[in-house]
Amino acid sequence: MSKIGRKPIEISTAKVEIKDKNVFLKGPKAEFTHELPEAVNASLENGFLILSISENSRKNRMIWGLHRALLANKVTGVQTGFEKKVKIVGLGYKAQLSGKKLTFTLGYSHKIDYELPVQVTVDVDKTGQNLIFKSSDKFLLGNVCDTVRSFRPPEPYKGTGIIIEGQVLIRKAGKTKSSS
């Protein structure tokens, strides 16, 4: 049995409709449609979304856990949404928001313009170094944060660059002066 797949998904403010192999989710933040594979079945019981499999095999158990996790993320997205904090570290490094376009000044000879996807919003503080990305789609939010991080990955000696909160940054010791 899949340990993840058998856990029920709690539904509080979301409206869930199941038609054949499609699960329709609608909440205050967004709405999603999730298509289940043939082996996985969904049902609603007492405010919980429960997934089950028709035939117990290794492949079906893996798919069961995967789709349970994907559906749980979508339910959380439509109910409360997701957010990731990104910090820009470095002298003169900053971001500016104008409409749906972020303009980064990251020590290059040019500025980098990045157009945000429709479902993603960002809050930039007055220094331009603390950004909070928000979205109801966890996958899209992760992709946006990784793309932004790729503009100036953190370097291991000084620690400057774009750092996503919770990311472990391995620092290295610089050159040392030998006394001979």
Residue 170 forms part of a structural domain: no
Residue 178 forms part of a structural domain: no
Residue 134 and residue 142 in contact, taking contact as beta carbons nearer than 8 Å = no
Instruction: Tell me: do 72 and 107 sit in the same domain.
Output: no
Instruction: Tell me: do 73 and 89 sit in the same domain.
Output: no
Q: To which residue do tokens 């953190």 refer?
A: 154
Q: What does the alpha-carbon distance between residue 92 and residue 126 come to, in Å, rounded to a whole number? A: 13
pLDDT score for 85: 96
pTM of the predicted model over 0.85: yes
pLDDT score for 5: 84
Pick the last residue of a domain from 79, 95, 110: 79
Instruction: Tell me: do 25 and 89 sit in the same domain.
Output: no
Residue 180 forms part of a structural domain: no
Q: Which domain holds residue 118?
A: 82-164
Residue 176 forms part of a structural domain: no
Flag residues of the chain having pLDDT under 50.
Answer: none
Q: How many separate domains does the chain show?
A: 2
| E strand or H helix at 61 | helix 58-79
Instruction: Tell me: do 87 and 157 sit in the same domain.
Output: yes
Instruction: Tell me: do 75 and 96 sit in the same domain.
Output: no
Over residues 10-50, the pLDDT tens digits come to 998 889 999 988 999 999 888 999 999 998 999 998 889 99
Residue 2 forms part of a structural domain: no
Residue 146 forms part of a structural domain: yes
**DSSP bridge pairs for 22:** 19, 35
Q: What does the alpha-carbon distance between residue 20 and residue 22 come to, in Å, rounded to a whole number? A: 6
Instruction: Tell me: do 88 and 106 sit in the same domain.
Output: yes
Instruction: Tell me: do 19 and 87 sit in the same domain.
Output: no
pLDDT score for 180: 60
CATH number assigned to the domain comprising residue 65? 3.90.930.12
Instruction: Tell me: do 46 and 93 sit in the same domain.
Output: no
**DSSP code for 64:** H
Residue 127 and residue 94 in contact, taking contact as beta carbons nearer than 8 Å = yes
